[in-house]
Amino acid sequence: QRHDTINAGHLLTIMTDNTTSTNKSTYAGQGDLTRLPIPSLEETLERFITTVSPLLTSEEKETCRHEVQTFLQTDGPKLQNLLVEYDEKGRAEGTLGSYVEEFWSD
């Protein structure tokens, strides 16, 4: 039984033609992707506590829980609202693919 073979030069030409024929950038379809949801402040803080707990002593865990509760009752909601507004504005203007995008790149 005979199998047709393609030489490396021909294969490279096929691959190059397929990848450059559309002239799209790597992120051309970024706006079509499903957006990441912003987790609630409570969910974020609970994940934070779960993540850092193995690294803390019992006393440090209690201090951490207290600080998280204080943050939840003071600055947290305002900062959460600013994040939601930032995401909504970026979505409406088409300037932001995800609420973490700009900060991830910094």
- List alpha helices for the chain, DSSP H: 8-20, 41-52, 58-73, 75-93, 101-105
| Residue 17: predicted pLDDT | 53
Query: How many other C-beta atoms lie within 10 A of the C-beta of residue 102?
Result: 13
Q: pLDDT tens digits, residue range 46-84?
A: 999 999 999 999 999 999 999 999 999 999 999 999 999
Q: Are 36 and 83 in contact (CB under 8 A)?
A: no
Q: Return the structure tokens found at 15.
A: 């691959």
Residues 34, 38, 43, 106, CA torsion sign? positive
| Residue 22: predicted pLDDT | 57
Q: How confident is the model at residue 14 (pLDDT cuts 50, 70, 90)?
A: low
